[in-house]
Amino acid sequence: MTTLIILFVVALLTTFVGFFAPAATTKKLTLLGMLAALVGLAFTWGDNVSAFSGLYRYDVFSQGVTLAMIVGALLALLADCDFFERKGWPAFEYYALISFAVFGGHVMASTTHLGAMIVGLEILSIPLYALAASSREERGYEASLKYFLLGAVSAAFFLYGIALYFGSTGSFTLGAEGKGLIFNAAVLMMLAGLAFKSALAPFHWWTPDVYQGSPTPVTLFMATAVKAAAFAALARLVVSVGLGGPWFYALAAIVLLTVFWGNLAALVQGEAKRVLAYSSVAHAGYIAVALFGPNPAPSMGFYLLAYALSTGLAFAVLAELDDGKGVPISELAGLWARSPLLGLGWLTALLSLAGLPPLVGFWGKYLVFVEAAKGHQYLIVALALFAAVIAAYYYLKLLAVALFGKAEKVKPLKLAGSAPVGLALGIFLVVLLGVLPGLTYKLLTLASAVVK
Amino acid sequence: MIHVLIFLPLLFGFWVLLAPQQARAVGLFGSLLTLLLGLISFGGVLSGADYAYQTPLLREAGVYYAVAWDGVGAVLMLAVVIATFMALLAAHDVPPAMVGLSLLMESGLLGILAAQDLLLFYVFFEATLIPSLLMLGLFGGAGRVRALIKFAIFTLLGSLLMLAGILAARYLGGSPSFLLKDLLAHSLGGGAGMWAFAAFLVAFMVKTPLFPLHVWLPDFHAENHPSGLADVMGTLYKVGIFGLFRWALPLFPAAFAAFQPWLLALAALTALGAAWTAYAQTEWKRLLAYGALSHMGIGALGIFSGSAIGASGAIFLLAASAIYTGALFLFAGGLQRRFGTLELRPTTGLAKAAPALAALGLILVLAMVGLPGLSGFPGEFMNLLGSWQASPIWTFVAFLGVIAAAAYGLSAYQNLFHNAPGKPAADMDGVEWQWGTLAVLVILFMGVYPKLFTELIMPGAKAFAALLGGGQ
């Protein structure tokens, strides 16, 4: 409960304080609020609480996902300060919207009741439609509108699924007994709705355009926190119905399509944010691989955290380079020479995303693949691993350009504001959790860490 | 002690990277300290210690930080610390970051040799790739990005497949952890064992390397920094034979038995084909790359024979070639410095102008050719002896490769030193005397008194042969 209350208070506070105080104060307040939520999370870690007659369910899985979301939000906030100050955008709402989105994501991750889930989903999504357009430029509007329309479609899918679910089982709570055509259709529709949100192929079409068009810190937040929340709901749905029946094939098809589509499409992109967008699609596929195991919660939680750190770090680097028009790959050249911190961040982030030990991304991949191996889905593991080799190519290409490419403009980049803190923190955590993965994995495997 | 030895180069490596002013001094001091620690540890292993240590790294998933020096690991460890020191001594004109990256690689290599947990081994194996890629990418020649992508994709293809194999080996085999002893007790057979073995095989064939997964190697050496430092570290990183010996074959004896005839053929054809190709090269580094490839083919033949004598020959060859191949790459660096090119043609007739350099070159080339009394011979001999029992025909084919070594090695030497007198050039300078003396001493010692090393290798090799159910 503590975490929920803290997040709610932070959302309200940032909204009202924003009217009276300068944006910088609101920014600090939001950062403090997120840290407070982390503290609340730490003190209640391992609790297994059910409140509001089962609407709210606070267990280790929701704690893990919330941790990943807060890490994503923190990185976004730290990276964005400089970004927005540089552009001079009067965007205090920005911080309130982020707070609300984290709150909504937490609700979505901490419930097995479909009604509460859709409420959480909407609290999460609506701020993001506004955030996508927060640059108040043509591309931002386009991204926002696309995101809104497809988000509405996905919510409609999800709602229709809920209606059918209620129709066939008489219950709004996941885990109700059900069978027959209507029930299967209900599960498939909910699956499709959540697949939209978590950017699983073939429901990922919006991802590259929206990621590219949104301001980079917002993209960072979308790629980390939103994905974490969507996957929490997806995991609870899949675990509640089990993996028999038609949705096994549906999920297997979705996962394999996602890892290959994401990675192959990333190969041919010319803009760094689009490459990372497709890479995030592929990573959604890897995360979903864990769903084939008997107890996906700990490995998914770890992967979400690892992914939030690595992708967050990569987008934080891009946020420094982006002047609102995206970052063509050729513009990365000479990054190391222009700013060693950015170069180091880029290096750690991409190697971690590629899954090289001793960085955190490796343990994430390792744990989800082990999980699926425990569920005896070796073919899926092998194919997903093969897709990961394809991914190595474009990560290395991005890396090679940044580190070894000859720069046309060698103007050194000066980092200002809180960006260096965010970058250093990200690098530190990616390496630390890579060397000592037990630090967090231990937390995620507490006895109560089972999704129900 | 063992942790200090493994991670000391890492510390010095970061020191050099963060404070590059005194790169050479710090790098030399670090690698010298590592060398001394290595010698002390080696002495300890000789008198029966194994420095074993283990603690859980990821207890819930059965991953351990488990390290030890067995005889085989200790011999190769010694080769790594000597070769790294020698290379850092020789490469006095490299950018500071290269020194740092070499030390990082040394740490990774020592970890590879010491790891007693399969996943830990994998972590070290992959982590070493990062500095190696950086070294190639940052300081390589004009075609470096192409060479880098080739190298990285081959390595990653192999190692990600191996990761799938690792998971299969543990979870299908029913082992409680990734520790070597647990995995050996729960060996995986049947069809799944075949697939898992094949996955390991691809990874180690890339890193041995063996035909047809060797195509990254010539580009890797040709495009790397001309000083030869990166080539030495790259040579040390070719741990495929060790991987086969320690992990792939013992874990899947049944699958290996089924694959054995094909593998012997592949190894022998690599030995001969690479020697043939080496003969046609007109550039020193490419010639050396193919020559080393041919030797690795012979080593793989010894491993694939499944016999104790063949396996110990392979390990000995691996250790010896780390020194003489490394020294040859450094020698090539010296030539590059003198002539600005590594083409074999324009640098003829050097023996008059630089007699000491010619002598050093001759010793190194003869070690590569496998002259008795130098370090190349015992390994090759034991390899061929072991593989003769497994397959006389393929041994004969590989033997042709050994003969060809004399052809390409000596003709390259002749071109370089003994044709019509060419351009004048400086003889060996102080630095070259230092590393050259070190290399020659080690090569002579390993050639004259191989017993010291083979006795350490033998128990491991016998256990290896017993696991495979093979000869003496």
Residue A84 confidence class, pLDDT cut points 50, 70, 90: low
Closest CA to B402 of B371, B360, B374: B371
Which stretches does DSSP call E strand in A217-373? none
If you write DSSP's letter for every residue of B272-333 in order, what string do you get?
A: HHHHHHHHT--BHHHHHHHHHHHHHHHHHHHHHTT-HHHHHHHHHHHHHHHHHHHHHHHHHH
Nearest chain A CA: its distance from B196 CA (Å): 11
- Chain A residues in contact with B152 (beta carbon < 8 A): 392, 396
Share the mean pLDDT of chain B.
84
Report the residue of A292, A299, A350, A396 to disrupt the B interface, i.e. the one with the largest count of B CBs within 10 Å.
A396
Q: Is A177 exposed, middle or buried (0-12, 13-18, 19+ CB in 10 A)?
A: exposed
Q: What is the mean predicted confidence (pLDDT) over A16-22? A: 85
Share the mean pLDDT of chain A.
86
Q: In this predicted model, which residue has the larger pLDDT, B362 or B173? A: B362
Q: What is the mean predicted confidence (pLDDT) over B64-74? A: 88
Sole residue written with tokens 């350009």: A401
Across the interface, whether the CB atoms of A400 and B145 are under 8 A apart is answered yes
- Chain A residues in contact with B167 (beta carbon < 8 A): 369-370, 373, 381
Closest CA to A301 of A102, A118, A59, A74: A59
Strand-pair category, B53-58 with A56-58: unpaired
Rounded distance between C-alpha atoms, residue B84 and residue B106, angstroms: 7
Report percent pLDDT > 70 for chain A: 94
- Candidate from A309-318, A326-335, A400-409, B285-294 with smallest mean pLDDT: A400-409
Closest CA to B117 of B56, B168, B192, B74: B56
Q: Helices (H) and strands (E) in chain B — how many of each? A: 22, 2
User: Under 8 Å CB-to-CB from B25, ≥6 apart: which residues?
Assistant: none
Across the interface, whether the CB atoms of B130 and A356 are under 8 A apart is answered yes
- Chain A residues in contact with B157 (beta carbon < 8 A): 389
Across the interface, whether the CB atoms of A438 and B161 are under 8 A apart is answered no
Element at B63 (helix H, strand E) = strand B63-67
Among A370, A392, A403, whose Cβ lies nearest the Cβ of B138?
A: A403
Across the interface, whether the CB atoms of B123 and A396 are under 8 A apart is answered no
Q: Is A449 inside any structural domain? A: no
Report percent pLDDT > 90 for chain B: 2
Report the amino acid identity of residue A416.
Answer: A
Rounded distance between C-alpha atoms, residue A15 and residue A26, angstroms: 9
Q: Is A451 inside any structural domain? A: no
Residue B471 pLDDT: 42
Sole residue written with tokens 């050396």: B288
Q: Is A367 inside any structural domain? A: yes
Q: Is A225 inside any structural domain? A: yes
Q: Is B368's pLDDT higher than 60?
A: yes
pLDDT tens, A249-261? 888 999 999 999 9
Q: Is B451's pLDDT higher than 90?
A: no
**3-state percent helix, strand, coil for chain B, nearest multiple of 5:** 75, 5, 20
Among B57, B137, B163, whose Cβ lies nearest the Cβ of A385?
A: B163
Q: What is the mean predicted confidence (pLDDT) over B30-58? A: 87
- Bridge partner residues of B64 (DSSP): B56
Considering only alpha carbons, which residue of chain A is nearest residue B121?
A: A357
Across the interface, whether the CB atoms of A357 and B127 are under 8 A apart is answered yes
Report the amino acid identity of residue A247.
Answer: W
Tell me the C-alpha to C-alpha distance, in Å, between residue A45 and each of A37, A58, A228, A307. Answer: 12, 10, 18, 21
Across the interface, whether the CB atoms of B137 and A358 are under 8 A apart is answered no
Report the residue of A332, A389, A433, A440 to disrupt the B interface, i.e. the one with the largest count of B CBs within 10 Å.
A389
Nearest chain B CA: its distance from A90 CA (Å): 40
pLDDT tens, A111-170? 989 999 999 999 999 999 988 888 777 888 888 999 999 999 999 999 999 999 999 998
Residue B472 pLDDT: 37
Q: What is the mean predicted confidence (pLDDT) over B383-410? A: 86
Among B60, B122, B156, whose Cβ lies nearest the Cβ of A392?
A: B156
Rounded distance between C-alpha atoms, residue B293 and residue B211, angstroms: 9
Rounded distance between C-alpha atoms, residue B206 and residue B249, angstroms: 16
Across the interface, whether the CB atoms of A393 and B153 are under 8 A apart is answered yes
Domain containing A181: what range? 2-444
Q: What is the mean predicted confidence (pLDDT) over B405-412? A: 84
Write out the two tokens for B147.
């060479």
Write out the two tokens for B278.
């080496």
Write out the two tokens for B357.
């350099």
Nearest chain A CA: its distance from B65 CA (Å): 11
How many other CB atoms are found less than 10 A from the CB of residue A273? 24
pLDDT tens, B318-352? 899 888 888 988 888 888 887 777 777 655 677 77
- Chain A residues in contact with B156 (beta carbon < 8 A): 354, 389, 392
A337 touches chain B (CB under 8 A): no
A356 touches chain B (CB under 8 A): yes
The dihedral of CA A353, A357, A359, A365: what is its sign?
positive
- Chain B residues in contact with A374 (beta carbon < 8 A): 171
Across the interface, whether the CB atoms of B59 and A367 are under 8 A apart is answered no
Q: Is A450 inside any structural domain? A: no
Rounded distance between C-alpha atoms, residue A74 and residue B138, angstroms: 33
Domain count, chain A: 1
Rounded distance between C-alpha atoms, residue B392 and residue B386, angstroms: 10
Q: Is A87's pLDDT higher than 70?
A: no
pLDDT tens, A372-415? 888 888 888 888 888 888 888 888 888 888 877 776 666 777 77
Q: Is A452 inside any structural domain? A: no
Residue B96: CA count within 13 A, CB half-sphere: 14
Residue A283 pLDDT: 93
Across the interface, whether the CB atoms of B127 and A397 are under 8 A apart is answered no
- Chain A residues in contact with B161 (beta carbon < 8 A): 385
Residue A205 pLDDT: 86
Residue A33 pLDDT: 93
Residue A439 pLDDT: 78
Nearest chain B CA: its distance from A117 CA (Å): 31
User: How far is the first Cα of chain B from the last one, in angstroms, to the nearest whole number?
Assistant: 35
Q: What is the mean predicted confidence (pLDDT) over B187-216? A: 83
Cα B217 from chain centroid? 13
Q: What is the mean predicted confidence (pLDDT) over B299-314? A: 88
Sole residue written with tokens 């073995």: B197
Domain positions in chain B are 252-472
Q: In this predicted model, which residue has the larger pLDDT, B229 or A41? A: A41
- Chain A residues in contact with B153 (beta carbon < 8 A): 389, 392-393, 396
Among B123, B152, B160, whose Cβ lies nearest the Cβ of A388?
A: B160
For residues B456-467, b (16+ Cβ closer than 10 Å) or e, as one string? bbbebbbbbbeb
The dihedral of CA A102, A106, A109, A114: what is its sign?
negative
- Bridge partner residues of A56 (DSSP): A51
Kindly calculate the radius of gyration of chain B based on its CA atoms and give it in whole angstroms: 21
Residue A103 pLDDT: 95
Report the residue of B58, B150, B170, B194 to disrupt the A interface, i.e. the one with the largest count of A CBs within 10 Å.
B58
Report percent pLDDT > 90 for chain A: 34
